[in-house]
């Protein structure tokens, strides 16, 4: 088992990195993908109102092993306004 850290930038005030033990790097990457889905499901409007989100998987020595960058392709303000019409 190896310890991996998740550094999340999702438009909220920065919090401490979360860590967990995984059997492999692939397992940690899959957990990051699931986390991205959960964050989008929980706060879709916040996603549209903030800067791009990033979820990084860091190894035990805190080196980045994998990252997910999430961004809208349009002006977020117009998307939120359209969704509320």
* Interatomic CA distance for residues 35 and 17, integer angstroms: 13
Q: Could you tell me which of 68, 65, 48 has the C-alpha nearest to residue 8?
A: 68
| pTM for the structure as a whole | 0.77
- Cβ neighbours of residue 78 under 8 Å, at least 6 residues apart? none
CA dihedral 40, 43, 49, 50 (to 10 degrees): -60
- pLDDT for 55 equals 93
Helix (H) or strand (E) holding 20: strand 18-22
| pLDDT tens profile 11-45 | 777 667 789 999 999 999 999 999 999 988 988 88
């Amino acid at each position: 088992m190896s310890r991996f850290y998740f550094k999340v930038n999702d438009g909220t005030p920065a919090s401490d990195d979360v860590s967990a033990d995984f059997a492999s790097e692939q397992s940690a990457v899959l957990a990051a993908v699931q986390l991205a889905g959960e964050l989008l499901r929980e706060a879709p409007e916040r996603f549209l109102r903030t800067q791009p989100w990033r979820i990084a998987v860091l190894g035990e020595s805190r080196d980045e092993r994998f990252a997910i960058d999430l961004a809208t392709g349009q002006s977020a303000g117009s998307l939120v306004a359209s969704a509320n019409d």
